[in-house]
Amino acid sequence: MKNLDLHSYSIVFEDIQISLRTVLAELDYSSLFVLVDEHTREHCLPILMNVLPQEVNYIEIKSGEIHKNLETCQFIWSSLLDQGADRRSVLINLGGGVIGDMGGFCASTFMRGIRFLQIPTTLLSQVDASVGSKLGVDFKGVKNIIGLFQDPIGVLIDPAFLKTLAPAELRSGYAEVVKHALIHDANLWQQLLTIKEVNLQVKWDDIIFRSVQIKQEIVDQDRREKSLRKILNFGHTIGHAIESYFLESETPLLHGEAIAWGMYAELILSSQISELPIQELNSAQAYLQKIYADKKPSHWDTESLIRYMLKDKKNIDQKISFSLLNRIGSCTPDQFIEEERLRKFLMVEFA
């Protein structure tokens, strides 16, 4: 069993039945709730059924980023209230990033806070949302604009859940692995370059552990995202805008697909502003192109992307904030770009 011990909780990498049985045996609670969506109810919950006690309350929500909003939160809060949750209750969030972010947010605000346990079931949620305690929901089309920082009682990671994913979901999560390598670990980047196809044949155990470890190393130095932690937003300033723009279109992108093309664009900005060497720019762009070519956005409205980026919570004085690469394995936060320069970039150099 491998653990990563953070300030107030541990991330456990082990067979989920063993780790969950251990946690529940040590946990003092009045009632237990499990939050699922239709996919995790069908594919993931059965894996836990012989471990969960008989007296469990289930809350099911609809899957997808489009449902990560206050309306769904109201449903979760109502379900907790109607089923008798109290301050000694525990909520288990069984699912991907939407479940983890929103379930943790609802638990942290219900009765001023009840305990919650994260069981991430997607590659994206295992390597990204499992560390850092950032919780929240989307509001008025802006991603994660309502939220807070709150630690879970633990995070249980089992790569076996990856077998329940569609290939597109696996590839979406891989974008965050690529990001961690680009911003913080050139050796991991070289390892990733040997992966020609993102599938279940990849040795995920070691890759997930190292990816989570990278995020832990960064978060430990800046828990409230005042400085260094902002490098985790590489690719996300443009990527979130792309994701938001296409979310309600006929061709929505998964989070990692949008972030992959956000990184592609921000690599160009890195070469222009942070002096990323041209050979490293070409190498990283070629790899992203190879993995995500079929999901490259064919069109967008530049002014819409600018509007989304102007709402980014990292901005200062209407200047749009970026974290940009100096070289592969090194990233600098708080690189501010004027709106007009960014508009020209989107219209000409990233058209």
Domain boundary among 138, 164, 190: 164
Question: Are residues 157 and 260 both part of a single domain?
Answer: no
Q: How far is CA 239 from the centre of its chain?
A: 12
Catalytic residue, from 112, 140, 196, 226: name it: 112
Q: Is 209 inside a domain boundary?
A: no
Question: Are residues 196 and 90 both part of a single domain?
Answer: no
pLDDT at 1: 58
pLDDT at 101: 96
- State the pTM of this model: 0.92
Domain boundary among 141, 164, 187: 164
d(CA 257, CA 174): 9
| Segment 301-336, tens digit of pLDDT | 999 999 999 988 888 877 899 999 999 999 999 999
User: Is 230 considered catalytic here?
Assistant: no
Q: Is 219 inside a domain boundary?
A: no
Catalytic residue, from 65, 169, 225, 266: name it: 225
pLDDT under 50: residue ranges of the chain: none
User: Is 67 considered catalytic here?
Assistant: no
User: Is 225 considered catalytic here?
Assistant: yes
d(CA 176, CA 50): 32
Catalytic residue, from 115, 179, 233, 243: name it: 233
User: Is 2 considered catalytic here?
Assistant: no
Question: Are residues 154 and 265 both part of a single domain?
Answer: no
pLDDT at 2: 80
User: Is 299 considered catalytic here?
Assistant: no
Residue 87, domain CATH: 3.40.50.1970
**CB-based burial, 13-32: b 16+ in 10 Å, e otherwise:** beebeebbebbbeeeeeebb
Nearest-10 Cα torsion for 286, 194, 277, 344: 30
Catalytic residue, from 39, 143, 171, 176: name it: 176
User: Is 143 considered catalytic here?
Assistant: no
Question: Are residues 86 and 151 both part of a single domain?
Answer: yes
DSSP state of 62: -
Number of domain units in the chain: 2
User: Is 233 considered catalytic here?
Assistant: yes
Q: Is 44 inside a domain boundary?
A: yes
**3-state secondary structure at position 5:** strand
User: Is 290 considered catalytic here?
Assistant: no
Residue 197 and residue 151 in contact, taking contact as beta carbons nearer than 8 Å? no
Question: Are residues 154 and 139 both part of a single domain?
Answer: yes
pLDDT at 7: 77
The DSSP annotation for 95-158 comes to: ESHHHHHHHHHHHHHGGG--EEEEEE-SHHIIIIITSS-EEEEEETTEEEEEEEE---SEEEE-
Q: Is 213 inside a domain boundary?
A: no
Question: Are residues 179 and 268 both part of a single domain?
Answer: yes
pLDDT at 248: 77
Question: Are residues 160 and 176 both part of a single domain?
Answer: no
Question: Are residues 142 and 177 both part of a single domain?
Answer: no
Domain boundary among 164, 183, 213: 164
Residue 343, domain CATH: 1.20.1090.10
Domain carrying residue 324: 171-203+226-349
Catalytic residue, from 115, 179, 180, 229: name it: 229
